[in-house]
Amino acid sequence: MTTEAQRQVEILADGCVDLISREELEKRIEARIAERKPLRVKYGADPSSPDLHLGHTVPLRKLRQFQDLGHQVVFIIGDFTARIGDPTQRNETRPMLSKEQVEQNALTYQDQVFKILDRSRTEVRYNSEWLDRMTPGDFLHLTAQYTVARLIERDDFKKRYEGGLPIAVVEFLYPLLQGYDSVMICSDLELGGTDQKFNLLVGRELQKVWQQPPQMVMTLPLLEGTDGVQKMSKSYNNAIALKDSPREMFGKVMSVPDALMERYYRYTTGMSLSAVQSILNDVKSGALHPREAKANLGEIVTSFFHGPEAASQARKEFDQIFKEKGLPGEIEEVALASRSMDIVSLLKEAGLVASKGEGRRLVEQGGVKLDQQKVADPAAVISLDAPVLVQCGKRKFVKVRFRGQ
């Protein structure tokens, strides 16, 4: 193997959980260097919600490494497959999304991924391009390439089957459709989280049927969310969205358990392994306080998506609130139509909570303050004859007034 091929493989294999196989990657990179032809590296995301989160940046940063080494990324927006919903790690059937919902969610995807990916080395495809055109005969041919026995080997399907929980037939189609995407774009390698390994291997098998060189498979760690337990997901309410405001993003990073700091530094900052290890050594030796290390992490992450100035301001405001017990420099103002209302309705109308149920629980748990005084009664009626400062949780501040003022 040439020195350049060896260098590329070392960079690309770093941080991977599975690589099927390293030997294949070595041979194919060496051949492509000789041919001066880039690898086609596939990554897909279903727009089942409008925003990407920090967990998505783990594979996106690996994709950027491929691009920096001269390879081509094929980013597939799964606008067709999103209507089914990926059954991976689900214990119930997802509700099917409408075409309109999916299209709306997909609108923001490209802007978000190009904060990391090189646009000039990215081919964006929507899988409805070929899946919408499939005939019933095409679908039958595709389903004939895989057995139910093999599909039921998947952990999520197996657990649901053994537990007597329903599995919709359409869910069995999902891995086949994702695999068929690999056939249609002639993928050389597909990467995803460790939870995607089964789906990626299906693509490899289908390419053999269509007499294509089977794609290599690369899996990457799943990043835990702010709860420190489950993988980052909007469904688990533990996600740091790429479109979060600087204040929200910085604050959420600061809420991540200390035990995850190494993983966040390694997988969300783009820093080299040696630089990350140096920071961890400083924390271990006492040269760097863990809180400062986490604040530095929050500023690095926030700066990447919002710029250094916004990140610095978010850090200052966080320090004001949590260290000096002060208030943010800028507080959003909301005008409401009623002159008075109960605190739960106020929280909902001001956009501080998603539902009255959530607002009621937050008040009962002591998480709501009015003019810096805790509100304990969910039925408390609040007068808006004068503007009031509402604090919801640790990081949300809103000044609320009557619209007629």
Segment 144-194, tens digit of pLDDT: 998 888 888 888 888 888 888 888 888 888 899 999 999 999 999 999 999
Distance, C-alpha 55 to centroid of its chain: 4
Where is the domain boundary, 293, 319, 345?
319
pLDDT score for 293: 94
Q: Is residue 294 part of a domain?
A: yes
pLDDT score for 21: 92
Please check whether residues 32 and 78 belong to one and the same domain: yes
pLDDT score for 83: 77
Please check whether residues 121 and 162 belong to one and the same domain: yes
Please check whether residues 110 and 151 belong to one and the same domain: yes
Q: Is residue 195 part of a domain?
A: yes
Please check whether residues 191 and 138 belong to one and the same domain: yes
Quick one: angle between helices 246-254 and 290-306, nearest 10? 150
Q: Is residue 86 part of a domain?
A: yes
For the chain, what is the domain count? Answer: 3
- Using CA atoms, how far apart are residues 246 and 227, in angstroms rounded to an integer? 20
Identify whether the C-beta of residue 183 lies closer than 8 Å to the C-beta of residue 204: no
Residue 123: give its domain's CATH number: 3.40.50.620
Please check whether residues 178 and 268 belong to one and the same domain: no
Residue 336: give its domain's CATH number: 3.10.290.10
CB atoms under 10 Å from CB of 338, counted, come to 13
Where is the domain boundary, 272, 296, 319?
319
CB atoms under 10 Å from CB of 69, counted, come to 17
Q: Is residue 349 part of a domain?
A: yes
Please check whether residues 25 and 160 belong to one and the same domain: yes
Q: Is residue 231 part of a domain?
A: no
- Return the H-helix or E-strand segment holding 34: helix 22-35
Identify whether the C-beta of residue 218 lies closer than 8 Å to the C-beta of residue 203: no
Segment 309-363, tens digit of pLDDT: 999 999 998 888 776 666 676 678 888 888 889 999 999 988 888 889 889 988 9
Residue 272: give its domain's CATH number: 1.10.240.10
pTM of the predicted model as reported, rounded to 2 decimal places: 0.77
Please check whether residues 292 and 214 belong to one and the same domain: no
Q: Is 260 exposed, middle or buried (0-12, 13-18, 19+ CB in 10 A)?
A: middle
pLDDT score for 18: 96
Where is the domain boundary, 265, 289, 319?
319
Please check whether residues 263 and 166 belong to one and the same domain: no
pLDDT score for 187: 98
Identify whether the C-beta of residue 372 lies closer than 8 Å to the C-beta of residue 328: no
DSSP type of residue 328: -
Name residues of the chain where pLDDT drops below 70: 85-96, 323-327, 329-330, 404-405
Please check whether residues 150 and 289 belong to one and the same domain: no
Please check whether residues 252 and 151 belong to one and the same domain: no
pLDDT score for 12: 95
Please check whether residues 40 and 102 belong to one and the same domain: yes
Q: Is residue 237 part of a domain?
A: no
Q: Which residue's entry shows tokens 């089977």?
A: 214
Q: Is residue 230 part of a domain?
A: no
Identify whether the C-beta of residue 16 lies closer than 8 Å to the C-beta of residue 218: yes
Please check whether residues 153 and 294 belong to one and the same domain: no
Domain that holds residue 385: 332-402
